[in-house]
Amino acid sequence: MNETSPRVRRRTLLLAATALTAAGAGGVADPASAGPTGRKGRPLAARSVGAFEVIPLLDAAGPFFLDRQVAFPQATSHDWDLARGVDPGAFGPGETWQLDFRCYAIRGPRGRLTLVDTGVGPDGSPAGGWAPTPGRLPSELERAGIDPADVDVVVLTHLHEDHFGWSVGLDGTPMFPNARYVVQRSEVAALSAGDAARAYVVDPLRATGQLDEVDGGTRLASAPGRSGGSIRVIPTPGHTPGHQSVVVEHGREQVIVTGDVLVHAVQLVDPGVAYRYEADPEAARQSRQRLLAEARACRTVLATAHLRQPWTEVVPAPM
């Protein structure tokens, strides 16, 4: 049974109800349909936080292999009605679930670049058995004016196939040769010996000395001055044991790159709804609630991996 009370559910809806449309997100369009690009080919979908700019990069899109009710068995018809109002593009014919596979680039002062997740990858990557490969992250980076050799940090929110696919090539060569790849130590430790992530991405990055295992909250970058800000990772476990999210902040403004803390709008309107593939559903629920509580305390935009638009604005609910 869903433990979230109706009052909390209504409150969450109020917080999430700035819909995932271009108009509702301050005129921002998804990069797949952004049309003309800005200077250096940058998509016009970027959001600024202090000295940092967050750029969505759509690697792939398509239907999930399970119907939405099977993927979220606790969700009620009321939950689905609320979720449809927030992310209508996620609702395909019948019970199908349509989703995007999105990464984010963060451009900082002096051209420093952070990439959050690397998508589904090429044909032949581990995600190819169920996700729409090949992804198009390389062309999205080019369109944004980003050379893979200029990326300083790659944050892997977690080690599921659809989030590490372009980290390395099929031969194990890192796609971002000058970057350190930041992952929670607990995420790596939880991998079994036969896990595809270990052979495909962890071992190759260890071999090149680029795997950077961190413990808990970690500051990755900061910018001085009035237009400064910072980037940090925060633990958000549950979807996987060492799942992490990325917070880009300046004063009381922030963008939170959520990873898979929530994978469908139904978990935004009711954080108590579990996803079939959460390693620890109770921990995942607590992570969603904590993240949304932090979001409510600031002027926050959620940058999600799988909703059909990149931005969800969170505003304080009326008392």
Say yes or no to pLDDT of 36 above 50: no
**Arch. (CATH architecture) of 47-312:** 4-Layer Sandwich (3.60)
The residue ranges of every structural domain in the chain are 47-312
**225 vs 171: CA distance, rounded Å:** 43
Percent of the chain residues topping a pLDDT of 90: 79
**26 vs 313: CA distance, rounded Å:** 9
What are the tens digits of pLDDT across the range 157-179?
Answer: 999 999 999 999 999 999 999 99
Percent of the chain residues topping a pLDDT of 70: 85
How much is the pLDDT for 224? Answer: 84
What are the tens digits of pLDDT across the range 257-284?
Answer: 999 999 999 999 999 999 999 999 999 9
Prediction pTM value: 0.88
